[in-house]
Amino acid sequence: MKTQTQFLLRIFTLALLMSFIIKSVKAQENESSRRIYGGIGYFQTGYAFFNHDNLNELFTSYGMPELQNGSVSFGGGGHSIIRNFIIGGEGHGLTGSTTSNSNYTISQGGGYGFFNLGYLVLQKSIFTLYPLLGFGGGGYSITITDKTDLPTNFNDLLASPQNQSSISKGGFMLNISLGTDFFIAGTSNGDELGGFILGLRAGYLLEFNKDKWYIADQELAGGPDAGISGPFIRLTIGGGGMSK
């Protein structure tokens, strides 16, 4: 029941965001018939707010330390603007927490990539605003190290290489977000805009097949419902230009 409620909440959130996108597009179409062309490239860094409560409940029951909820993200991408429509892509790596107690160390990491479609709903002076919908995939891994019987030399490691286990998951993902960019240096006149970009992007990641975990390509039964779904916010640094 809890899993179904969480899934319905995510769908409801996506529906609200899609409703905003549709209204924004209609507002832009009513505001002006002028079309914008151009493109930007960028680097991004930020934070993704993942929920690891189900994982941590299992970890603590086996005497393992808890993971922190969330991960730092870093990556980049770019997009083209054709008659206000946006086409592009992006990729990001995730660096999560490493936690430890007297018996275990647990680390996490992952990444994802998306093909993005969007629409430039607003361009005023040096400011732009656009929603994006991304289709892609991602992966996530957790490494558990048992420190109670670590090998003391290389031969011991080869004789018993079972002190560390890495579990992973991955699959199809959706990314829905709202981006805003400021052209803070460069050219700006009535018909052309270009130069250095500083912006923000915020949205929600939705991962499917959240309860499917693998070790060495073999599926693990009874995996918890956890992964890289959740809201995020990122700082955008880059450059580009556009014209009317």
pLDDT tens column, 81-122: 999 999 999 999 999 888 999 999 999 999 999 999 999 998
pLDDT tens column, 211-223: 788 888 888 888 8
Task: Write out the two tokens for 23.
Answer: 């209204």
Residue in the structure block whose two tokens are 């991962």: 207
Give the list of residues 6+ apart from residue 97 with CB closer than 8 angstroms, or none. Answer: 67, 68, 71, 107, 108
Q: How many CB atoms lie within 10 A of CB 106?
A: 21
Q: Mapped to the 3 state alphabet, what secondary structure does the chain carry?
A: CHHHHHHHHHHHHHHHHHHHHHHHHHHHHHHCCCCCEEEEEEEEEEEECCCCHHHHHHHHHCCCCCCCCCEEEEEEEEEEEECCEEEEEEEEEEEEEEEECCCEEEEEEEEEEEEEEEECCEEECCEEEEEEEEEEEEEEEEEEEECCCCCCCHHHHHHCCCCEEEEEEEEEEEEEEEEEEEEEEEEECCCEEEEEEEEEEEEEEEECCCCCEEECCEEECCCCCCCCCEEEEEEEEEEEEEEC
Task: Calculate the average pLDDT of the chain.
Answer: 84
d(CA 244, CA 233): 29
Q: Is the pLDDT of residue 15 over 60?
A: no
CATH number attached to the domain at 2-243: 2.40.160.20
- The bridge status of strand 164-188 relative to strand 218-220 is unpaired
Model's pTM, two decimal places? 0.80
Task: Look at residue 1 in the predicted model and tell me its pLDDT.
Answer: 45
- Domain spans of the chain, in order of start: 2-243
pLDDT tens column, 111-131: 999 999 999 998 887 889 999
